[in-house]
Amino acid sequence: MKQLNMSIKHNLIVGLLIALWLFIFAFIIKPFDDGTINLRAWFLISFGFSVMAFLCYAILAVLQKSVYEKISKWNINYEVISLLFFYVIYFFGIYAYYKSPILNGGYGFEEFFVVIFIKVALILTPVIILARRYLIKLILLKEDILNFRGENKLDVLKIKKDDLVCVSNAQNYVEIFYIENGKLVSKLIRSSLKKVQEDFDFLMQIHRSHLINPAHFKSWRNPNTIILTQIELPVSKNYKETLLAL
């Protein structure tokens, strides 16, 4: 896995689906029923564990977005670490809920881990893995065509992601450089560099006035300048380390 869907919206939707699936599964199947838990208690367990799953996944979504923006890469190691992080905070979250006055659970720390948490993790893991793989497909569907919209209704530009080279600040506008019929062309749109970066988070900032599509990076001209497809841009010292990782 070399990509990560950083969309908070997409990840929150996945978190809601995971929570809903966990609630239905836990409430109907009762995977750790010992015959002493009544219907009300099962509802509280199912509801609480589901809500906690959503909250922990939301925390993961925000944190992984922050990490990805800094390192600009993703692999199976980061994916495993993310899953482990989710389970660590989820374990302590549901254990605190289990021991709270709401449930007043009787299992101790180790018993809770063995009897309850391991079963919950086995239930959740396949769903989380499949959901995160599906999120990658959403990236491909969403980002194949880029839709730039400015403040003016006529400020519209639709191009393929692979054709976008860079975006530069131009006072109250941004200048979008892209390949058309083998040549570098540009279009001014009334917008801000910050908004463009928020809309297209795969773009990498190399200067306070420039964002680049990493796919068009070619080489270094000198310690302060890089060569992209048919254009050269300056690099600020603050962003140099990130760019060196390409």
pLDDT tens-digit map of 28-43: 888 777 667 788 888 9
Q: Which CATH architecture has domain 147-244?
A: Beta Barrel (2.40)
What residues does CATH 2.40.50.1020 cover in the chain? 147-244
How many Å apart are CA 220 and CA 85, to the nearest integer? 37
Alpha helices (runs of H) in 72-180, residue ranges in sequence order: 76-99, 109-111, 118-143
Between CA 215 and CA 163 the distance in angstroms is: 10
- Structure confidence at residue 75 (pLDDT): 86
Indicate the residue type of 14.
Answer: V
pLDDT at residue 37, as a whole number:
77
pLDDT of residue 81: 95
* Helices 8-29/118-143 angle, 10° precision: 150
- Whole-model pTM: value is 0.60
pLDDT at 6: 78
Q: What is the pLDDT of residue 2?
A: 60
**Predicted confidence (pLDDT) per residue in 150-176, tens digit:** 888 888 999 989 999 999 999 899 999
- Rounded to 5 degrees, φ, ψ at 31 are -65, -20
**Please, how many CA atoms are within 13 Å of residue 90, restricted to the half-sphere of its CB?**
27
Range 204-220 burial, b when 16+ CB lie within 10 A, else e:
bbbbebbbbbbebbeee
Say which amino acid occupies 172: N
Query: Are 229 and 177 in contact, with CB atoms under 8 Å apart?
Result: no
- In the chain, which residues have pLDDT < 70? 1-2, 34-35, 138-143
pLDDT of residue 38: 82
Residue (of 15, 5, 140, 17) closest to 79 by Cα position = 5
